[in-house]
């Protein structure tokens, strides 16, 4: 297999990224989600493209004005097909602010999502995308970051633990990691918070 190219996303990429994201979700969560989960995402394809376009336009405008965008997006392309997507940025993501009132995360940078197609697993693409999404400008040191991860997702959990992430137990105030119900569109599956320190913590 040739090596995928990772690059910043553009507005023109939005339909292909959305398609990849949907299929990654279907593959990743097939063991814990009913078939309706993937179908609902496919039914929302056009709406999700439109939502992504808004984010990509905001990022382009922010960078043109020398401001930090709310979220940056990357894609991995292999033989002309998008096979991975990632997004990250400072602060709490808009979707979390809309649906939850969680305690402040222990660090200020968030990995919003990172998914790769199942056929690329084991190729090293996931670690490369993680390094890209959490790169510190002008330094080899990665950014300190936090993320949400679904319960009963052992492959992803092992991946993040290998890369230095640990459960966010609110500095020992919880018996386990901070956990929330994902809500009806995610069939009320639980997700929990992890974080990784860095040179900036």
Structure-token pair, residue 168: 């966010």
pLDDT digit string (tens) for 44-71? 999 999 999 999 999 999 999 998 888 9
Give a yes or no: residue 184 inside a domain: yes
- Asked if 194 and 168 count as a contact pair (C-beta separation under 8 A), the reply is yes
Give a yes or no: residue 84 inside a domain: yes
Per the DSSP assignment, residues forming a β-bridge with 73 are 87
Give a yes or no: residue 143 inside a domain: yes
Give a yes or no: residue 139 inside a domain: yes
Give a yes or no: residue 201 inside a domain: no
Rg (C-alpha) for the chain, rounded Å, is 16
pLDDT at 199 over 70: no
Count of structural domains within the chain: 1
Classify the phi-psi angles of 151: left when phi > 0, otherwise alpha if psi is within -120 to 50, otherwise beta: beta
Which stretches within the chain are classed as H helix?
A: 14-28, 35-43, 45-64, 94-99, 125-133, 154-162
CATH number of the domain within which 59 lies: 3.40.630.30
- Asked if 88 and 71 count as a contact pair (C-beta separation under 8 A), the reply is yes
Give a yes or no: residue 124 inside a domain: yes
Which residue range(s) make up the domain with 107? Answer: 5-196
Taking residues 21-31, report their average pLDDT.
97
Helix (H/G/I), strand (E/B), else coil: 137: coil
pLDDT at 30 over 60: yes
Backbone phi, then psi, for 34, in 5-degree steps? -70, 160
pLDDT reported for residue 127: 97
Half-sphere exposure of 44 (CA within 13 A, CB side): 14
pLDDT at 115 over 90: yes
């Amino acid at each position: 297999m040739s090596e995928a190219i990772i690059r910043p996303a553009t507005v023109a990429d939005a339909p292909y990224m959305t398609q990849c994201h949907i299929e990654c979700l279907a593959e990743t969560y097939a063991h814990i989600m009913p078939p309706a989960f993937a179908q609902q995402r496919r039914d929302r394809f056009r709406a999700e493209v439109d939502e992504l376009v808004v984010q990509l336009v905001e990022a382009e405008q922010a960078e043109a004005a020398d401001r930090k965008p709310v979220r940056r997006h990357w894609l991995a392309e292999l033989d002309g097909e998008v096979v991975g997507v990632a997004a990250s940025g400072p602060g709490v993501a808009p979707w979390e602010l809309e649906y939850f009132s969680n305690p402040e995360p222990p660090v200020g940078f968030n990995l919003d999502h990172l998914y790769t197609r199942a056929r690329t697993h084991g190729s090293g693409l996931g670690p490369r995308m993680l390094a890209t999404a959490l790169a510190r400008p002008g330094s080899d040191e990665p950014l300190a970051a936090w993320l949400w991860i679904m319960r009963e997702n052992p492959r992803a959990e092992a991946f993040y633990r290998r890369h230095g992430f640990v459960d966010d137990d609110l500095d020992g105030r919880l018996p386990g990691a901070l956990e929330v119900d994902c809500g009806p569109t995610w069939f009320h599956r639980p997700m929990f918070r992890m974080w990784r320190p860095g040179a900036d913590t």
